[in-house]
Amino acid sequence: MPSKKYIFVTGGVTSSLGKGIISASLAKLLQARGYSVTLQKLDPYINIDPGTLNPYEHGECFVTEDGAETDLDLGHYERFLNIPTSQDNNVTTGRIYLSVINKERRGDYLGKTVQIIPHITDEIKRRIKILGTKNKFDFVITEIGGTVGDIESLPYIEAIRQLKWELGPTNCLVIHLTLVPFLSAARELKTKPTQHSVKLLLENGIQPDILVLRTEKHLNQEIRGKVALFCNVDISSVIESIDVSSIYEVPLLMLKEQLDITVLRKTAMTVGETPQLTGWNDFVQKLKNPKITVDIALVGKYVELQDSYKSIMESIVHAGVVNNCRVKLHSIHSERITELNVTELLSKMKGVLVAPGFGDRGIDGKIFAVKYARENNIPFFGICLGLQCAVIEFARNVLGLNSAHSTEMDHKTPHPVIDLMEEQKRITDKGGTMRLGAYLCKVKEGTLTYEAYKSTEIMERHRHRYEFNNYYLPAFEKAGMISTGINPDTNLVEIMEFRNHKWFIGVQFHPEYRSTVLNPHPLFINFVKATIN
Ligand code: GLN
């Protein structure tokens, strides 16, 4: 009998119901009850990973410690569970097909016709089970991207059907998330879409064990009973997921709805004592009762889509809570910023964060924003491309290197202050070839950076091809912009700090991938703190 329990989370009716948050919340509750849990996301698109996708398509690309470019839901998993994920935690259809096709070319299936069933479904099952077998987890929670009924999701649904049958009822559960819309004209909540969505699952051979209903209004017993009756689940398995102002409230709501207890009973696991979630509760209390509000600008070029800067936004929320303040983050499109309007756009801001990015669209606006923050002594935080913009701005406006640029934007610049990394020069493929994942960085003592980290050795995650050009370092340092963090193996500049300023730090890595509810990131904490003082 397998000791692991496999839980699948599917979605019906519409997308964006918050499957990732429900999965992470359930994981959090099981973890709080003493179980070891991991979360996995299966994405039904053909890209090998989301690394080559524009943020407009798919939101932020989340980078794991082992350098995998993954779905942003992995960010939620880490922020909720406080444990790192890896490549195994995110698999796409592209990756599944790639391994099956590679096996076919190697001759692993010699003589056989390679088909969706069993070859693709076997590979899906292998990827699901790998997580459970590589590590000692009690629960593996696998979230299936997309919506039931999509052509792309079918092989995943079939793989779950097979696993359910192979592993037996107490070892495998399906949680289906649907929407119960409120029709204002009729003043009624409607369960029909849920019934249809469950029928779709049944057509594919899956009876969901638990239904989580996303709703704007509370569900009464009558509605719960109706859903139970029409969808063949017991009433305690009809779980309400009501809209809340913060995603961090969802674990508390799920605790109230006893989602965890229902899962434990159905998987024949010990329920034990109700978890206190003290740290989490404190966080939510502080989040909901800020003492002050502070306005910070987030300058980027994908600001139209909230999800593009998900981890940065959440890191700011975490840092706000530590500082007892609510950060009002003003997303400002970098293409909108000009030399003429920069003062008007930024004058009310207590801090400026320039976001990561690629390509030259909106680059001038970012540079104007840095200049404004530097000249007006406004706390500045530059992340990846944000650091690179700060370097370009400083070179142009302080060192007098007028046409200084990054060779990413201008490969003929006479002053390539940001240049392609040596190891990148031979690379032509775009997928998965950046400098990715966690690297060591040595921090200089007596700096704002050290004040934040309180350590001389840190590990941070990366996703870039370009770097600070060390040829220019002496000139920068002489003018007050010093390198406060370097990679000890390659000498690559990881952090720059402008000393004649209240708080001005640019980092080549992505600190936002490491901030969690229980471990908010020190740079974000001190950036927000600087905006308050
Ligand atoms: N485009 C820049 C580079 O590749 C910055 C990347 C980023 O912001 N993630 O180096």
Using the mean position of ligand 1's atoms as its centre, give its distance from the Cα of residue 24 in Å: 29
The answer to whether 231 and 198 have CB atoms below 8 angstroms apart is yes
List the 37-43 sheet strands across, edge first.
Answer: 90-92, 37-43, 139-144, 5-11, 172-180, 210-215, 238-242
Give the C-alpha separation, 512 to 310, whole Å.
Answer: 9
Per-residue pLDDT band at 133 (split at 50, 70, 90): confident
**Average of per-residue pLDDT across 507-532:** 98
Asked whether the predicted pLDDT for residue 1 surpasses 60, the reply is no
For ligand 1, mutation pick of 54, 353, 358 (most atoms within 8 Å of CB): 358
Catalytic residue among 172, 384, 389, 441: 384
Position 121 scores a pLDDT of: 97
Residue type at position 448: L
Position 304 scores a pLDDT of: 87
The answer to whether 125 and 98 have CB atoms below 8 angstroms apart is no
Position 485 scores a pLDDT of: 98
Lowest mean pLDDT, pick from 9-18, 220-229, 444-453, 499-508:
9-18
**Average of per-residue pLDDT across 183-189:** 93
For 310-350, the pLDDT digits (tens) are 999 999 999 999 999 999 999 999 999 999 999 999 999 99
Asked whether the predicted pLDDT for residue 419 surpasses 50, the reply is yes
Using the mean position of ligand 1's atoms as its centre, give its distance from the Cα of residue 509 in Å: 9
The answer to whether residue 510 is catalytic is yes
Asked whether the predicted pLDDT for residue 520 surpasses 50, the reply is yes
Instruction: Check residues 134 and 499 and name the one with the higher pLDDT.
Output: 499
Position 369 scores a pLDDT of: 98
For 444-472, the pLDDT digits (tens) are 999 999 999 999 999 999 999 999 999 99
Beta bridge partners of 41: 90, 143
Q: What is each CA distance from 466 to 178, 363, 386, 425, 435, in whole angstroms?
A: 44, 15, 12, 10, 9
Asked whether the predicted pLDDT for residue 129 surpasses 80, the reply is yes
- List CB contacts of 108: < 8 A, sequence separation 6 or more: none
Beta-strand pair 292-300/62-63: unpaired
Using the mean position of ligand 1's atoms as its centre, give its distance from the Cα of residue 81 in Å: 28
Ranges of H-type helices in 342-440: 342-346, 363-375, 385-397
The answer to whether residue 512 is catalytic is yes
Mean pLDDT of the chain: 95
The answer to whether residue 384 is catalytic is yes
Asked whether the predicted pLDDT for residue 131 surpasses 90, the reply is no
Lowest mean pLDDT, pick from 127-136, 148-157, 198-207:
127-136
For 157-163, the CB contacts below 8 A with 24+ separation are 157/10, 157/201, 157/204, 157/206, 158/116, 158/117, 158/121, 158/204, 158/205, 159/121, 159/124, 159/125, 159/128, 160/8, 160/10, 160/206, 161/204, 161/205, 161/206, 162/121, 162/125, 163/6, 163/125, 163/128
Position 55 scores a pLDDT of: 86
Please choose, from the candidates 523, 519, 496, the residue with its C-alpha nearest in 3D space to the C-alpha of residue 511: 523
Residue 398, judged by CB atoms within 10 A of its CB (0-12, 13-18, 19+), counts as: middle
In the Cβ-directed half-sphere of 130, how many Cα atoms lie within 13 Å? 14
Query: Which residues form ligand 1's pocket by a CB distance below 6 Å?
Result: 356-358, 384-385, 388, 408, 463-466
Give the C-alpha separation, 201 to 197, whole Å.
Answer: 7
Position 153 scores a pLDDT of: 94
Query: Does the pTM of the predicted model rise above 0.75?
Result: yes
Please choose, from the candidates 175, 178, 211, the residue with its C-alpha nearest in 3D space to the C-alpha of residue 193: 178
